[in-house]
Structure 1
Amino acid sequence: LDPQIILCDEPDSGLDPVRTAYLSQLLIDINAQIDCTILIVTNNINIARTVPDNMGMLFRKKLVMFGPREVLLTSDEPVVKQFL
């Protein structure tokens, strides 16, 4: 298979921290190998801090911020800071 997009909805649900770390690295490796877009829906800050190149923050059904991971991780936006 050669997917253009992979959708992961809470892929770490029910996983312990060790398996979550393994999953994060697996997603990074898959992205590097097949160069596809991976859309991850998560509330796990560890995945959000390590896996994506770009990320967005949804709050009350609205996209409040989107951009490079580093921009969101250093944002002064109150909703983003609360999640981090």
Structure 2
Amino acid sequence: MQDIRLILLTIFLILNFLILGFNIFYRTQVLKSTYEFGAIMPGAVKRLLLANILLVILGIIFTAIFLINELIFRLFN
């Protein structure tokens, strides 16, 4: 059972950092392309930044919930 929890924790952490890296890469590419072509859309850029921030926060929250669950499980067993 603990092996499954460790594997899930590792998967959560890897996915969290992959999502963070992909968001940073995608955000920089979109901002670069909008400025290069002169088609600056402030609303789209703001929505993109907000979506990136929310995804990163959700990833951190899910990882924290899983870590707290693991800590409680190890303390009381």
| TM-score between both structures, scaled by the size of structure 2 | 0.34
Which structure would you say has the larger Rg?
2
RCO comparison, higher one (Cα < 8 Å, 6+): 2
Which structure has the highest strand share of the two? Answer: 1
| TM-score between both structures, scaled by the size of structure 1 | 0.32
